[in-house]
Structure 1
């Protein structure tokens, strides 16, 4: 059984002494420092030009990964505080003996939620597919024999969540431990606390994807040990139960993309307004103030009211579900998302279905994802040929020019491991914004000076 005292660890990479909550400075708590470090990081800033719904959208009211992440963190803070209040009532020793407060839970979930998309490549999940397929179906297959099965799996199923963990924790010259976030926040960030193999061994939500690359497995295990996560691995494979607060981070993301992507689709004219409002009303029918709603004559105002009410409704219910299953979650025996237990799951599924058909599979999105796939494949070809050339291209002038154009990858020339070179190339490509990916493609393909 996991316990809250361990799960709320303030430890950071490199600490030699235990950080105690009751000794924290209340004006700037360790968990709040996590939030600050994420928001001031260059990786977080790059989310302002990464796809949420429409790649390379020219409209000013459609969400980017940055605005989405900020909204998810706000919802996550509310979820954490509401849950924290009840957890402290149930486990009073956490406050009386150790000094934890309700807001600590909110700060942890808010920070982890803020970072939840920090490792995502350009062009959204299509970007992940492009990177993975370069190695599974494309020219990247030539490296398979130089890799272990788990290393190859890391590449062919390249995962934004694992890349996010790498960004948050990666050692760099002069910077040990990455952003040096608290282990509690890192634990809440890791939705899939397992390595890439075995692939989807069960239908448990934690086995859907993976949460760290082979290069980061030792540090992940250190975090899991400090937090007291339940070890579920077998036969030498690394797998753990989720940190309980990761369920709240996931719920915050699910709530936001369900409701706000739907709202973006309406604003873009991809979903008919009156039709869409009906679906939102079904979701909030038990909480709607009919008199107030009927006084709103503008469709935009009605949409705004229903969106806020829908988010509030789902926040309240997600916390209730979390608290109801707290013991099962602490025992590592809860294997679904919180919203899958929602009384509104049918309405949520209807909204997501409409979003898929009208937004994610719209002609505009598909055409831009096709272009993005081609561009990322070209960049991976360019980088792998420059940093891992075969013998016939060792003196290639073009490759030498590429090396000069990518100073952030120059350290790879001295890296012996093929896997580490490839992973850094993928991580670098993943760090690019949508706009910079287009510019890099145009430069390397000679289509633009």
Structure 2
């Protein structure tokens, strides 16, 4: 892989090449990506989607939207720092092609902003709930009528693949979805493979999958334009990561490691003593102990430690990226950046406490239990109505349900896979509150 191709400004539907040196510096193409994402309805809906902890009535916690904004800020810093070093290493990118350090920051910031845009309601349990409907619920009856890869898409419903669908999916008047640059689409796709084979290797890019069968050709087009290295065996589509995807992943890892921990402390789920015990090893070289002891409340103290910890991990991730940049370009770097960090043990300790005290707290578990029931009911109701309509077997109830489904999605496609995937996609776009409201409606609780 080479940086000239990887930084492509091409967008879906372009017939002419977009050159960096011809860009308007007041509205750079990569910055347009950020704007298109932040103004999209799918991004706005993240304000009412659970990050980890359900919305607290007593204190602020992060939603998917605030988490995504913070990941984007961290990603921008990572990208700019790496960009500066890449241009120093390959000066022709700047002198001949016109790329600037901030270009790297803009790409990573945009991709990071969108990284959770495809996640369904109720956190990661939402993905599992959709998958289990097809694995062990009513949806398993469709298995024999789908290809193995189509069925796997549904059984392992993946927010990353759904996000790629959102940002690229064409519909009337919106060809190419958000029409993001191919560089941003490449950086967005942390797992550039289809759903099968599942985890064929221990390579980080094989951990999950990044596109549904419905968007496979679209991703192949993006990968070819960017010059991403193929890792497929002829029977499967798989590529090496776009190098900047490592920075998007690092930004996400940094934020959920440190900020979920901070949320847990502020809500009283984690004792403040843990903050000093676990964070001090990340910040001992930068902490101003006099300033720390002048802070009079938990929030301010944790906020100070959080800022220092994030800065430490940003510098660490940049250093690891540049030390391994050539291996990354060759597709030979097979772990996440922070997996190679000298702070790996401290990071794992923090995550372990968060899992025990936050992710498995009663408040979180109760929300996940309810989410399973809500999503299972909606998937069953919509799938039945959509398929009965296609087979001309609709009941009056099915007909009423169909009237409430959006006209922009094709629920009458001749392909069973596309009908079912569009039902899952529709449910995934719902906010937590909207899903609960729809559940109450179909169960007759609104009367």
Q: TM-score of the superposition, structure 1-length normalised? A: 0.98
Residues 147 and 306 of structure 1: CA distance in aligned 2, closer, same or farther (over 3 Å): same
Gaps of 5+ in 1: none
Report the secondary structure of 2:143's partner residue: helix
Residues 371 and 409 of structure 1: CA distance in aligned 2, closer, same or farther (over 3 Å): farther
Tell me how far apart the structure 1 counterparts of residues 276 and 392 of structure 2 sit (CA, whole Å).
59
1:424 aligns with 2:402: no
Tell me how far apart the structure 2 counterparts of residues 392 and 89 of structure 1 sit (CA, whole Å).
62
Output aligned runs, 1:14-93, within 5 Å: 14-93=13-92
| Cα deviations by residue, 1:379-401 (Å, 9 ceiling, x for unpaired) | 00000110012999914111111
Residues 273 and 408 of structure 1: CA distance in aligned 2, closer, same or farther (over 3 Å): farther
Tell me how far apart the structure 1 counterparts of residues 220 and 27 of structure 2 sit (CA, whole Å).
28
Aligned-pair CA distance for 1:9: 0.2
Tell me how far apart the structure 2 counterparts of residues 265 and 313 of structure 1 sit (CA, whole Å).
21
Aligned-pair CA distance for 1:56: 4.2
Report the secondary structure of 2:388's partner residue: coil
Aligned-pair CA distance for 1:410: 6.6
Question: Does structure 2 retain, via aligned residues, the 8 Å contact 1:409–1:425?
Answer: no
| Cα deviations by residue, 1:212-246 (Å, 9 ceiling, x for unpaired) | 00010111001000000000100321000000000
Output aligned runs, 1:161-240, within 5 Å: 161-240=160-239
Residues 254 and 145 of structure 1: CA distance in aligned 2, closer, same or farther (over 3 Å): same
Tell me how far apart the structure 1 counterparts of residues 104 and 297 of structure 2 sit (CA, whole Å).
38
| Cα deviations by residue, 1:362-409 (Å, 9 ceiling, x for unpaired) | 111111100000100000000011001299991411111101122346
Deviating more after overlay: 52-61 vs 140-149: 52-61
Partner residue of 2:443?
Answer: 445
Partner residue of 1:380?
Answer: 379
Partner residue of 2:344?
Answer: 345
Tell me how far apart the structure 2 counterparts of residues 345 and 240 of structure 1 sit (CA, whole Å).
27
Deviating more after overlay: 278-287 vs 17-26: 278-287
| Cα deviations by residue, 1:4-37 (Å, 9 ceiling, x for unpaired) | 0100000000000000000000000000000000
Output aligned runs, 1:49-448, within 5 Å: 49-389=48-388, 394-408=393-407, 411-413=410-412, 415-448=413-446
Tell me how far apart the structure 1 counterparts of residues 408 and 401 of structure 2 sit (CA, whole Å).
10
Deviating more after overlay: 140-149 vs 295-304: 295-304
Report the secondary structure of 1:380's partner residue: helix
| Cα deviations by residue, 1:80-99 (Å, 9 ceiling, x for unpaired) | 00000000000000000000
Question: Does structure 1 retain, via aligned residues, the 8 Å contact 2:266–2:298?
Answer: no
Report the secondary structure of 2:285's partner residue: coil
Residues 395 and 328 of structure 1: CA distance in aligned 2, closer, same or farther (over 3 Å): closer
Tell me how far apart the structure 2 counterparts of residues 411 and 120 of structure 1 sit (CA, whole Å).
20
Tell me how far apart the structure 1 counterparts of residues 385 and 277 of structure 2 sit (CA, whole Å).
54
Report the secondary structure of 1:87's partner residue: helix
Report the secondary structure of 1:118's partner residue: coil
Report the secondary structure of 2:157's partner residue: coil
Report the secondary structure of 2:191's partner residue: coil
Gaps of 5+ in 2: none
Tell me how far apart the structure 1 counterparts of residues 433 and 347 of structure 2 sit (CA, whole Å).
32
Aligned-pair CA distance for 1:267: 1.1
Aligned-pair CA distance for 1:57: 3.5
Question: Does structure 1 retain, via aligned residues, the 8 Å contact 2:193–2:206?
Answer: yes
Tell me how far apart the structure 2 counterparts of residues 367 and 68 of structure 1 sit (CA, whole Å).
22
Partner residue of 1:11?
Answer: 10
Aligned-pair CA distance for 1:268: 1.1
Tell me how far apart the structure 1 counterparts of residues 217 and 190 of structure 2 sit (CA, whole Å).
18
Aligned-pair CA distance for 1:140: 0.2
Aligned residues: 447
Report the secondary structure of 2:254's partner residue: helix
Tell me how far apart the structure 2 counterparts of residues 165 and 410 of structure 1 sit (CA, whole Å).
16
Residues 390 and 403 of structure 1: CA distance in aligned 2, closer, same or farther (over 3 Å): closer
Question: Does structure 2 retain, via aligned residues, the 8 Å contact 1:56–1:435?
Answer: no
Tell me how far apart the structure 2 counterparts of residues 55 and 408 of structure 1 sit (CA, whole Å).
31
